A and B are shown apart, each in its own frame.
Chain A
Amino acid sequence: MARSIITIKDLTKVYDGQSAVDQLSLSIKQGEIFGLLGPNGAGKSTTILMLLGLIEPTEGEIEVCDLDPITQPIEVKKRVGYLPDDLGFYQNMTGMENLLYTASLNGIPRSKAEERAKELLEIVGLTDAADKKTGKYSRGMKQRLGLADVLMKDPEVIILDEPTLGIDPEGVREILQLIKQLNEDQQLTVLLCSHHLHQVQQICDRVGIFVDGKLLALGNVEDLASQLFFEGSYVVNVEATPINDQLIKSLESIDSINKINQTSDTRLEIYCEKNISPLIAQKIIEQDVELHYISKKDYGLDEIYHRYFEGRDES
């Protein structure tokens, strides 16, 4: 079992009587990609800033790389790279110069810094743009430069706050691949914060769902899905015309179907225990109904996430 590199215990942060983070306990293992998921304002950024010692927690203990960020913020910041969500660079400097400046802030000697910057620009695919002013960079390029910037100090952990924000799908894919690759090649621990669930889902080893300062669920994506959707692990979507009572009745007669929801005039949502799509299709056709579409629904984080919110609204 890998050692835990970030340990959070009963972390609480209260702003004006309102708790942004409430009794959060979490442990992140070395070498894993952990996704912290939550809507805007859930307290993700607050948690991250507390990990870096930039915000003082009201209560609780944090340990990052065996250090306490409250008393030794600088030591922690030497080991942890942080990519903020509102990432910006000095626009009148080139990408290379920005990286070298970061290096100088980390006390890396110039010659070594240049070498490393070149190497990193190569990794993130910005070698051609190295001598371009960052003011002319596109959003995706900035994000990639940000990644290089975070890696300049050769960190043990990188914390990425919304790394895919405002990037086109192809760019997102590249960045996620890059993160995955870095994680594999350099045994980097990655803490990823996002509300783009399906993106996070692709690369995270474990995710935590974080709402209103509380951690609602923790585990890998499959675990979360099975925890939540016990009532029927399969959902089949059907589009057919016309849908009538007779059709629904005949479908209900199938044993393994638990529940049928009619979502619109032509659509049905069928919860069943097994994947019985062919059987359903057959039934529908027997009823002389035109079947336009049938598919088994896969549970992704979107559904998990949505389900959590549904639950929250009811309670």
Chain B
Amino acid sequence: MKKPKLTFFKKWSEQLKQFVQSRKQNSKEQGSGSNEKSTPVRENQDPSIFFAIVRKEFTDYIKSWRIIILLIIISLTCLGSLYTAVTTIQDVISEADDSAKEIVKDSYLFLKLFTVSDGTLPSFITFVTFLGPLLGIALGFDAINSERNRGTLSRLMAQPIPRDYVINAKAVAALLINVVLFFSLGLLVMAFGILILGIPPTLEEFLRIMCYLILCIVYIGFWLNLGILFSVRFKQAATSALASIALWLFFSLFYTMIVKVFANRFLSSEAIQTASDMIGRQSLVLNIMRISPNYLFSESTNILLSPSVRSLGPLTMEQTVGAIAGPLPFSQSLLLIWPQLTGLIAATMICFAISYISFMRQEIRTN
């Protein structure tokens, strides 16, 4: 409870110091006055200690069986889906004649690596949408309560480190795993694509893929922070794992179903008189769908990796009149998913903020 005040005081005293320094010598006494109190706090902010925790957590993650298994599953499935995508694309290219080939090459073929499947194995993005949250949950669900149950938390707290180092370092280490995994996977898929297909990605395709990878990290970050939140909230690791998995299943399977059941009734109602009424109802349903982070993620994925998708909501005939059916430029795609992206980031931050605050206020004792 004291820490937030302290950090506030520290920031404040730093600001004061800067202010004082800019005011030059004559106010030096004041400056040293505020110095005296802020120095001890400053010393503790030694980043090497923070990174010592991050390093330890990172090592723990990559040594733990649960993460190793998940990493292997994700890598294998992604490479498997890459294989099916590559064979599908090769079939298409070999069947097409020369003029068609030119067209194919222009139509973001490289992005198809991530989205296309021949029906036997789901595509790369389907796997990530499905398995990503599981990885996030596996990284986060026992972050705090396992320390508590093993009795290491009180030992950790007796060391001269600020309390928030523990939770921050855990989040950073887990995110780092994510970043490393997704960038290496994404780049691997790209590399294989170039090797096997022989088509280099255009700059735009490259940027789209990079954005997609960042999006994946944000999305998994959401589930990670949800896991951390539950790990602070629930004393038993099993409870928090089950709670997070229940939420994950709910959002990835049942939420869409439930909304669809109601939407059917709602949209086919006889009370709808005008087109604008219909559109209003459509967008209401859409917005309800968007409560689910999975939906936000799949929407953004669609826009990013399939440039031919031009809109996320319903379009009236008037709006489409005169539009040329062509891919959306990258900047416009980005603009389209901006709300989704910020929404995901906000949800992630909220989860982390709640876990941060409740961790700071929690009793250290186990019982």
| Interface: A1 (CB within 8 A) | no
- B158 close to A88 (CB less than 8 A): no
Complex CA–CA separation, A75 to B36 (angstroms): 14
A-side residues, CB < 8 A to B, are 45, 49, 52-56, 70-75, 77-78, 80-82, 84, 86-92, 101-102, 104-107, 146, 149, 153
- B151 close to A56 (CB less than 8 A): no
Query: How far does the Cβ of A165 sit from chain B's closest Cβ, in whole Å?
Result: 12
| Interface: B22 (CB within 8 A) | no
- A77 close to B158 (CB less than 8 A): yes
Complex CA–CA separation, A45 to B161 (angstroms): 20
Partner of A45, one of B44, B48, B158, B365: B365
| Interface: B329 (CB within 8 A) | no
B144-183 interface mask toward A, CB cutoff 8 Å, 1 = contact, 0 = none? 0000001110111111111000000000000000000000
Complex CA–CA separation, A87 to B158 (angstroms): 12
- Chain B contact residues, majority secondary structure: helix
Partner of A105, one of B40, B52, B63: B52
> Which residues from 33 to 72 on chain B have a C-beta closer than 8 Å to any C-beta of chain A?
40-41, 44, 46, 48-49, 52-53, 56, 60, 63-64
Number of B positions contacting A (CB below 8 A): 31
Q: Provided the pairs A92-B63, A107-B46 are in contact, do residues A101 and B160 lie with their beta carbons within 8 angstroms?
A: no
- A49 close to B364 (CB less than 8 A): yes
**Cβ contacts under 8 Å, B6 to chain A:** 71
**Cβ contacts under 8 Å, A73 to chain B:** 2
| Interface: B18 (CB within 8 A) | no
Q: Provided the pairs A54-B364, A74-B44, A78-B160 are in contact, do residues A84 and B49 lie with their beta carbons within 8 angstroms?
A: no
21 contacts between A and B (CB under 8 A): A49-B365, A52-B158, A53-B2, A55-B363, A56-B2, A70-B2, A74-B40, A74-B41, A74-B160, A75-B40, A77-B159, A80-B158, A84-B151, A89-B150, A92-B63, A92-B64, A102-B155, A105-B156, A106-B159, A107-B160, A146-B155
| Interface: B30 (CB within 8 A) | no
**Cβ contacts under 8 Å, A89 to chain B:** 150, 152, 155
- A86 close to B160 (CB less than 8 A): no
B-side residues, CB < 8 A to A, are 1-2, 6, 40-41, 44, 46, 48-49, 52-53, 56, 60, 63-64, 150-152, 154-162, 363-366
**Cβ contacts under 8 Å, A86 to chain B:** 151, 154, 366
Query: How far does the Cβ of B154 sit from chain A's closest Cβ, in whole Å?
Result: 4
Partner of B161, one of A56, A75, A88, A105: A105
Query: How far does the Cβ of B70 sit from chain A's closest Cβ, in whole Å?
Result: 17
- A104 close to B154 (CB less than 8 A): no
What 20 additional pairs, Cβ within 8 angstroms, besides A74-B41, A101-B56? A45-B365, A55-B363, A56-B1, A74-B160, A74-B162, A75-B160, A77-B158, A80-B158, A82-B158, A84-B158, A87-B151, A88-B151, A88-B152, A92-B60, A104-B56, A105-B52, A105-B156, A105-B159, A106-B160, A149-B155
**Cβ contacts under 8 Å, B60 to chain A:** 90, 92
Give the interface centre of B41, B49, B154 by most chain A CB atoms within 10 Å. Answer: B154
**Cβ contacts under 8 Å, B365 to chain A:** 45, 49
Minimum CB distance partner of A67 in chain B: B40
**Cβ contacts under 8 Å, B158 to chain A:** 52, 54, 77, 80-82, 84
**Cβ contacts under 8 Å, B161 to chain A:** 74, 77, 105
Minimum CB distance partner of B46 in chain A: A107
Complex CA–CA separation, A149 to B41 (angstroms): 24
